[in-house]
A = this chain, B = another copy of it.
């Protein structure tokens, strides 16, 4: 880090550095404007800088025919050169100009289609003699290196686009599974918002989108096999992920090196299924009557009926469809929070348990889990489960991933997350950690020490060290695959999802990518603040984590990029309606002339407010 810091002395970077005016300076080191987040494994950069010609940097690759690389190059240019910001051509008298960026995959015949758990994401990034090169084993490493390169570029106070003239970065992730869990059942999250979230994940080198597709509240996932599930179980016909939508999300993720892992949570959390398939769901009883809700204990029907054979045939067909449609080959089965009071309340289930010598609800849960795990075995997908089913001592197939979400700080009946991690890995299971990273648990995050003003939430997420208390073999340690930041959707939808996730999830991203030794929270707070401004420059409404400002592109300011079409996937009807209502002649003249308008760097967006008249 030390060498980077000298940049501040070399170039005045006021336009990009925040918090200069803060009353309470933080004790961490001031971060340079081109700080790389998450921090690379090894990094040497010079103080000297090269200029870059805005919109005119040549980017080549030895696998340019690979769509992932070709599209990434397209995508990154507006990230190198944010479309609203002032950028000058380099001074006429300089030769210190970066000539090219080259992306070289070591095996240049290989254009993989989907990133996998075992894919290499390692890369080297060098800049010397006015040439930048990213080298990697795989296209995924090239994507990560391209992201790092994009972060090294910045616009200095004189509005020149610059980058360090000598760079030597060797980088690879510490953990293989670095995920975000999004709940699209408590509130529907429209595809354009999911896509923008995927973009932000890529900016943080996060490689798993765990899609909590359905839950009690709604069933937005449109199954081809069982279309009635969403027809009846979605909030409305507008609140559905069609097969085209799902494929669109998977493709968007694929191009960014992100795996999409769907979750179909059973046997609990299934009230929305009851709208179309009531026969699968246990009717809960109370006071001698069926369909009775006691909301702290049970809904009226909220959990599968394990005695019902159609449960298994339905799950078999649905999981086969999932395997076909989601290329990750992983499926999250949920299996959390199986509240057994409802099962016991139902006389038919009680009788069935007796008839089948199942003498406890634990064993009933085990019976259910075993049958579902048989299905995943038969169709060769790897199951992921919330830890609950493992807590119940169900034997899980080898390779199963256990997602740890409990911690003694939430419930005195729970152990610490570290002990769960330890135990599961030592028992031979793969594990991912989420307990300390439930981003929906928001709090007002400020406290003063004698030396600093701190952001509590950031610290809480950042200071987690997954292996701090790990004891086990190296082999067992390898089974700790990583973790996920989770955002449950009770109070989250398109209005606040992005600002609530970011930049808090970035803290998790660095923890899972960077070496364990990168753990100075006060430094990191500064660095993340710079990265947060970068996210704003990319159209992401990441919320502030400290007092201060980013620049004249903040949300609501004239150069804001938040609604810039290049960083957004929405296509509001009002835009197309007004377009459609234009005379054909105007449209024709526009589209014929549009080609003339193409410069080296053009997205032609024409936004003309002629006025607003109301009789």
Q: Are B606 and A578 touching (Cβ within 8 A)?
A: yes
Which of the candidate stretches A34-42, A60-68, A360-368, A561-569 sits at the interface with the other chain? Answer: A561-569
Chain B residues positioned under 8 Å from A234 (CB to CB):
21
Q: Are A556 and B295 touching (Cβ within 8 A)?
A: no
Chain B residues positioned under 8 Å from A393 (CB to CB):
none
Secondary structure call for the A interface: loop
Among A548-568, those with CB < 8 Å from B are 548-549, 551-552, 554-566
Question: Which residue, A302, A445, A573, A593, has most C-beta atoms of chain B within 10 A?
Answer: A573
Which of the candidate stretches A142-150, A436-444, A515-523 sits at the interface with the other chain? Answer: A436-444
Chain B residues positioned under 8 Å from A609 (CB to CB):
565, 575, 603-605
Given that A295-B450, A547-B187, A574-B83 are contacting pairs, would A610 and B590 also be in contact in the complex, using a CB cutoff of 8 Å? yes
As for how many copies of this chain the complex holds, the number is 2
Q: Are B607 and A21 touching (Cβ within 8 A)?
A: no
A60 to chain B minimum Cβ distance, whole angstroms, is 12
- Tell yes or no: A327 within 8 A of B by CB: no
Chain B residues positioned under 8 Å from A600 (CB to CB):
614-615
Given that A547-B186, A609-B603 are contacting pairs, would A193 and B556 also be in contact in the complex, using a CB cutoff of 8 Å? yes
- Tell yes or no: A263 within 8 A of B by CB: no
- Tell yes or no: A226 within 8 A of B by CB: no
A408 to chain B minimum Cβ distance, whole angstroms, is 18
* Proximity string of chain A (261-302) to chain B, C-beta cutoff 8 Å, 1 when within and 0 when not: 000000000011001000000000000000001111101001
Which of the candidate stretches A199-207, A235-243, A306-314, A315-323 sits at the interface with the other chain? Answer: A235-243
- Tell yes or no: A536 within 8 A of B by CB: yes
Q: Are A236 and B446 touching (Cβ within 8 A)?
A: no
A390 to chain B minimum Cβ distance, whole angstroms, is 25
Given that A448-B295, A544-B187 are contacting pairs, would A235 and B495 also be in contact in the complex, using a CB cutoff of 8 Å? no
Among A81-108, those with CB < 8 Å from B are 83-84
- Tell yes or no: A412 within 8 A of B by CB: no
Task: Provide the bound-state CA to CA distance between A419 and B450, in Å.
Answer: 33
* Proximity string of chain A (420-449) to chain B, C-beta cutoff 8 Å, 1 when within and 0 when not: 000000000000000000001111111011
Q: Are A593 and B585 touching (Cβ within 8 A)?
A: yes
Among A68-84, those with CB < 8 Å from B are 74, 77-78, 83-84
- Tell yes or no: A496 within 8 A of B by CB: yes
Q: Are A605 and B608 touching (Cβ within 8 A)?
A: yes
Q: Are B441 and A441 touching (Cβ within 8 A)?
A: no
Q: Are A556 and B570 touching (Cβ within 8 A)?
A: yes
Q: Are B494 and A496 touching (Cβ within 8 A)?
A: no
Given that A23-B216, A572-B564 are contacting pairs, would A296 and B449 also be in contact in the complex, using a CB cutoff of 8 Å? yes
- Tell yes or no: A398 within 8 A of B by CB: no
Among A125-164, those with CB < 8 Å from B are none
Which of the candidate stretches A1-9, A476-484, A485-493 sits at the interface with the other chain? Answer: A485-493
A394 to chain B minimum Cβ distance, whole angstroms, is 25
Chain B residues positioned under 8 Å from A22 (CB to CB):
217
- Tell yes or no: A401 within 8 A of B by CB: no
Supply 5 A–B pairs (Cβ within 8 Å), ascending by A: A297-B450, A493-B543, A493-B544, A561-B574, A579-B607
* A interface with B by C-beta (< 8 Å): 20-25, 74, 77-78, 83-84, 186-193, 216-218, 233-236, 238-239, 271-272, 275, 293-297, 299, 302, 440-446, 448-453, 455, 489-496, 499-500, 536, 541-549, 551-552, 554-566, 570-575, 577-579, 581-583, 585-587, 589-591, 593-594, 596-615
Extra contacts besides A190-B555, A296-B450, A559-B574 (16): CB < 8 Å: A20-B235, A21-B275, A23-B217, A186-B547, A187-B547, A187-B548, A440-B444, A493-B554, A494-B541, A494-B557, A495-B543, A563-B570, A575-B605, A581-B599, A600-B615, A603-B609
